[in-house]
Amino acid sequence: MKKNRFSKENIVEKLKSLSLFFITVLFIPFIPILALVKFIGKKFNPNFLVLNECKPKNYIAEYLVHNWFSDRDKAQNNRVFVLFLFPALFAFVLFVVTPFIHGIYLSMTDWNGLNTGEETFIGLVNYKDLLTDVKFLFSFYRTILYSVLNILVINIVAFLLALLVTQKLKLKNIYRAGFFMPNLIGGLVLGYIWQFIFNRAVVTFGPAFETSLLLDGTTALIALIFVVTWQYAGYIMMIYIAALQNVPQDLIEASTIDGANAFQRLRNITLPLVAQAFTVAMFLTLVTSFKQFDTLVSLTNGGPSTLMPQWFADLTGTTSNVAVQSTSLVAMNIYNSAFSGANVGALGIGQSKAVVFFVFLLVISLLQVYFNKRKEIEL
């Protein structure tokens, strides 16, 4: 008989598991101290803090004794695991978790970047202001548009390159190295190189290219996608190569003998077997696209300026004569708000935008991984 997951017993069991999880999280930082105390205590008394025969009165005490305090194998393995993990975990908490929590607090203040301690707590005022910041909303729209196109183009190009260099070619290793090399160039340097190419070289190709692609908002976004694809496709290609090399050749040969053409082999054999690589590659390109900053700064610096489209102005309830930056993505908008704004509390405003951006990217990333995992099963 199938157990009802909404039954009282099941809900109580879930609540107990959840409480034990939080207790474990809170208890982990004290494991090194516990280990040191036990080590010193056993020098004087071999039975110091030996709780193997202890009979706890509730499930929390029982959990702590059996999984952390006793000298049983499971408790000892847990303590050793935490001791090895603690240096990296301590660094992560110190340099990632703590600044993030502090950043959430600063996003609720009028902090101006000066550590004078005079910032005022203003609650959710900065977050409310974001709803009326049409330039921030427009940058979000352009970021989503850029990311969708960039993810599609990079993954298609990378997969085609991977299919090419996994064929029986004489110089396939040289091709792999050549396709991967653009990824070794820094984003700032890459942007300046391609800015020179678009402004000085491409314009000499003929009348159709006499105006630089970077001078129009639509073509500037396309140029940015082209540059980032040229840089990043080789890296994603290596992920697909690793997946393609694990496809059993016996299946390919058997399907060829059965009369399957190249497209049928790709659709029914190759794609299902490399589905996990698509999940990883799409996650990496998703995060990279949304966080695009360095190449953008050197290539377009957010420009060119243009008037807000009428449909977007109608959607946000504003006028269309607002000047916006065509390629100012969210990361650049956050930077400009925090460090280029003359208004009081600019850092607090920029931090609130960063928190919203983090939450949005977290949700999108989790949804992408979830649906890709489901697609893997369907394939």
Where b means 16+ CB within 10 Å and e means fewer, 35-50 reads eeeeeeeeeeeeeeee
Provide CB contacts within 8 A for 161, sequence distance 6+: 179, 233, 234, 237, 240
What pLDDT is recorded for position 342?
53
CB 302 within 8 A of CB 325: yes
Question: Domains in the chain, please, with CATH?
Answer: 8-106 (no CATH), 127-378 (1.10.3720.10)
What pLDDT is recorded for position 341?
56
Regions in the chain scoring below 50 on pLDDT: 1-2
Q: Give tens-digit pLDDT for 162-187.
A: 999 998 888 888 999 999 999 999 88
Where b means 16+ CB within 10 Å and e means fewer, 281-297 reads bbbbbbebbbebeebbb
DSSP letter at 309 equals: P
Which residues are registered as beta bridge partners of 6?
none
Alpha-carbon gap, residue 189 to 355, rounded angstroms: 29
Nearest to 83 by CA among 35, 41, 51, 23: 35
What pLDDT is recorded for position 33?
81
Alpha-carbon gap, residue 301 to 325, rounded angstroms: 9
What pLDDT is recorded for position 1?
46
Provide CB contacts within 8 A for 82, sequence distance 6+: 28, 31, 32
**Burial bucket for residue 20 (CB in 10 Å: 0-12, 13-18, 19+):** middle
